Structure 1
């Protein structure tokens, strides 16, 4: 987490655009990071010190013009207000966030090359973003890279992290890929992981897990009732047999 000494004459929020106004290439650039956000909303429901933005511009002072943002597909910042009243953040403005830099950014590489491996990487490093994830499921062969590359900032340079899922101790989460179902779509998604490498479930999966638990409980109750009825029937048959022998059952 990096803090800056604020320069003077920075533009107020009212003078800044929401982003760079460039549309995404496909819907997955929105849906993939949105899944990460909804999982965090469940996991950190009691925390108010974090913010996860999707396709949101970061206005900063490490470039030539503080009015020109860099726009990742997702950003995670810790130590900031979770919500800004009354309408939320139109963008992430470093000087309005107590100079707290996002600790994690995600770039989803699309058909239109966006400088993820050079210009943007240099900007994020200069800005001080600790973890930088480049997700490139479709065009990694074209770009001569791997589909999943997580980098950690070490002495001003990004160092590729080995293994997957990759654990990020400063965040308290790991991140990786796995096939799952979200928005009724079965495919590979990005997920958060715990320290033991266990994937954290999506809301849909948690709902299905709860449904299965309720159904198991219903079946268990049904079997117990059936066994009780069978025991009662057996006892009644035995009592009747004893009466036929002239023995009154107790």
Structure 2
């Protein structure tokens, strides 16, 4: 728990910019993190001690200037309010979150290199982000990396982890890739997994499965509404 004196005289979230007015240059950088968010809202619907940010600024005091944020494509923090004092966050300000830094950061590599493997990795490591996921489905050969990589912070440095989906015990979730149909289009996405390696289904998939089951029951002469 941070002490009040540690963050004395720092700007408040109302004083900090919540947008750099620079749009993302890759459709996946918006869709994939939001798909993870919507799925997590169902998995952890009974919990209020987490926050998942998408393309949101993280303000911290481990850099040269606390007014200069780092902006991951997505991040997860545990032990914080889902809605801070009942309101939406403009940005994630570490000194307003009792010093709690995100436990997971996710970057999706686009055509324009974004320093995911060096500068941003150094920032997240210094900040203390435990897990760092880099998803690079299209440009991994250019960057001489694998399409999906999970790093864990060990003694202040990131070490590449093995296995997919990769289980993160401190979070209670696994993460990995999946190919599935979304509104009639086959896409590769990131998804959450349980400890047994089974993928959590999206709302769309669960609705489709329920409809197939209902149709099968009707074929057998059963009324699914009466079951």
TM-score range, shorter chain: over 0.9
Question: Which structure has the bigger radius of gyration?
Answer: 1
CA distance in 1, matches of 2:31, 2:61: 29
CA distance in 2, matches of 1:81, 1:170: 18
**TM-score, normalising length from structure 2?**
0.93
Structure 2 partner of 1:230: none
Q: Which runs of 4+ in 1 moved over 3 A?
A: none
- Structure that is richer in helix per residue: 1
Structure 2 partner of 1:237: none
Structure 2 partner of 1:246: none
C-alpha contact 2:178 2:188 (8 A) present in aligned 1:
yes
Deviation per CA, 1:99-153: give whole Å up to 9, x if none: 1111101000111111100010000000000000001111111111111010000
Secondary structure class of the residue paired with 1:34: helix
Structure 2 residue runs without a partner (length 5+): none
Decide which moves more: 163-172 or 81-90.
81-90
Structure 2 partner of 1:45: 45
Offset of residue 221 of structure 1 = 2.5
CA distance in 2, matches of 1:25, 1:4: 37
CA distance in 2, matches of 1:197, 1:86: 34
**TM-score, normalising length from structure 1?**
0.84
Structure 2 partner of 1:125: 125
C-alpha contact 2:7 2:95 (8 A) present in aligned 1:
no
Structure 1 partner of 2:16: 16
Within 5 Å, which residues of 2 pair with 1:28-177? 28-85=28-85, 87-177=87-177
Secondary structure class of the residue paired with 1:150: strand
Structure 1 residue runs without a partner (length 5+): 224-250
